[in-house]
């Protein structure tokens, strides 16, 4: 039992729970306003849509892939939905479906180009990010659509028990996706594909099909975030999501996902996202200029990545400086 407790504490999720708790305690002891329920509601409301997108990113990273087109897909889906609602009077359900379809389509394009045509994932998703952002800008010509019907804005502005509806969307998506990743054969195959693509293929796993499905899922979640955000703000902006892809990749990596694939945790990613959001929020409470927020987030990411490498090397006995010192001393 002791070993099990030790294992949980030393695991990435356990470590992040501890780190988040220590962070809350430290900032809370400096300024008690930080630990007010109302403040945590703001933090959680703000990170809900990022969490939706992060789920797709964790799955992709676990399978040894990644997607930089997230920002562009979210923006384009919001713009398409918004323009259909405002300019053509399309019913809300159809307009939302069209926005989500855009995400699925871009995900499919990413997946087929990378998995079947063998294009480089970095350049492919950079290109589709560029293209989708460009299309969003071109469609709006700088004028963001607004004046959406209530049936649409309710999708992003309703609150339940004091929290935005997006929080509940995020919880539902996280629970389902985490369950699929941890308990189903598909989840096992995602990790196997990321761990060793060729070994997975030789064992009968359709690695290309898994990749395409994951790119489509990530595209769908990005589009959902874009549509919900447009509903929340009552307007759709082509630049509303700039930097989102790197933020969620950073959160996923802090949460234990590996850029080399084979590792990743949705709960870990959520805790990483919480930490990054709390950093930004806490800066206000401790009197640090918000302009320093990116620098602090970068430092945290660097510590997480370095800590990961050091822990792995120590575990594998590849890097034991005390041994070297003994040898040198002798």
Which residues contact other proteins (rule: CB under 8 A)? 183-185, 187-189, 191-192, 194-196, 198-206, 262-263
- Considering only CA atoms, which of 25, 9, 6, 5 is closest in space to residue 17? 9
What CA–CA distance (Å, rounded) separates 53 from 74? Answer: 9
CB of 32 to other proteins, least distance (A): 43
Query: Which H/E stretch holds residue 307?
Result: helix 293-315
Q: What is the DSSP secondary structure assignment for residue 318, as one 8-state letter?
A: S
Structural tokens at position 262: 């084979």
CB of 254 to other proteins, least distance (A): 19
- Considering only CA atoms, which of 301, 246, 255, 264 is closest in space to residue 279? 301
- Dihedral pair phi/psi, residue 144, rounded to 5°: -75, 135
What CA–CA distance (Å, rounded) separates 94 from 74? Answer: 17
CB of 273 to other proteins, least distance (A): 23
198 vs 328, which CB is nearer to other proteins? 198
49 vs 58, which CB is nearer to other proteins? 58
68 vs 205, which CB is nearer to other proteins? 205
Alpha-carbon 171 to chain mean position: 13
CB of 59 to other proteins, least distance (A): 16
CB of 64 to other proteins, least distance (A): 11
CB of 301 to other proteins, least distance (A): 22
62 vs 106, which CB is nearer to other proteins? 62
CB of 107 to other proteins, least distance (A): 23
47 vs 205, which CB is nearer to other proteins? 205
Using alpha carbons, list the distances in angstroms from residue 57 to 14, 251, 316: 21, 10, 28
- What is the DSSP annotation of 258-291? -TTSS---HHHHHHHHHHHHHHHHHHHHTT--GG
User: Cα dihedral sign for 157, 160, 164, 167?
Assistant: negative
Query: 120: helix, coil or strand?
Result: coil
CB of 202 to other proteins, least distance (A): 4
188 vs 285, which CB is nearer to other proteins? 188
How far the first Cα of the chain sits from its last, in Å, is 40
183 vs 292, which CB is nearer to other proteins? 183
86 vs 207, which CB is nearer to other proteins? 207
207 vs 275, which CB is nearer to other proteins? 207
What CA–CA distance (Å, rounded) separates 80 from 106? Answer: 13
Q: Give the 3-state secondary structure percentages of the chain, helix then strand then coil, rounded to 5.
A: 80, 0, 20
Query: 163: helix, coil or strand?
Result: strand
Query: 37: helix, coil or strand?
Result: helix
CB of 180 to other proteins, least distance (A): 9
Query: Which H/E stretch holds residue 45?
Result: helix 37-62
């Amino acid at each position: 039992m002791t070993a099990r407790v030790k294992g949980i504490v030393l695991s990435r999720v356990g470590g992040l729970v501890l780190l988040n708790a220590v962070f809350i305690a430290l900032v809370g002891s400096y300024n008690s306003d930080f630990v007010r329920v109302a403040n945590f509601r703001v933090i959680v409301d703000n990170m809900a849509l990022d969490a939706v997108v992060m789920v797709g990113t964790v799955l992709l990273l676990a399978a040894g892939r990644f997607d930089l087109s997230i920002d562009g897909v979210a923006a384009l889906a919001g713009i398409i939905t918004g323009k259909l609602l405002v300019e053509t009077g399309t019913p809300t359900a159809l307009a939302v479906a069209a926005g989500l379809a855009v995400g699925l389509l871009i995900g499919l394009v990413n997946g087929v180009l990378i998995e079947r045509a063998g294009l480089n994932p970095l350049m492919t998703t950079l290109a589709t990010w560029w293209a989708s952002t460009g299309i969003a800008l071109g469609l709006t010509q700088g004028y963001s659509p607004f004046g959406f019907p209530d049936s649409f804005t309710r999708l992003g502005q309703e609150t339940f028990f004091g929290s935005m509806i997006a929080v509940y969307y995020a919880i539902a998506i996280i629970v389902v996706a985490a369950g699929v990743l941890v308990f189903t054969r598909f989840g096992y195959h995602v990790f196997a594909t990321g761990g060793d693509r060729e070994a997975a293929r030789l064992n009968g796993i359709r690695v290309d099909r898994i990749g395409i499905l994951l790119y489509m899922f990530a595209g769908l979640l990005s589009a959902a975030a874009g549509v919900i955000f447009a509903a929340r703000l009552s307007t759709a902006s082509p630049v509303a999501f700039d930097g989102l892809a790197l933020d969620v990749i950073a959160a996923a990596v802090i949460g234990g996902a590996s850029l080399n694939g084979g590792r990743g945790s949705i709960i870990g990613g959520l805790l990483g996202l919480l930490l990054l959001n709390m950093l930004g929020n806490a800066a206000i409470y401790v009197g640090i200029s918000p302009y320093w927020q990116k620098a602090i987030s970068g430092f945290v990411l660097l510590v997480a990545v370095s800590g990961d490498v050091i822990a792995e090397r120590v575990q594998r006995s590849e890097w034991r400086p005390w041994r070297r010192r003994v040898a040198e001393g002798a």
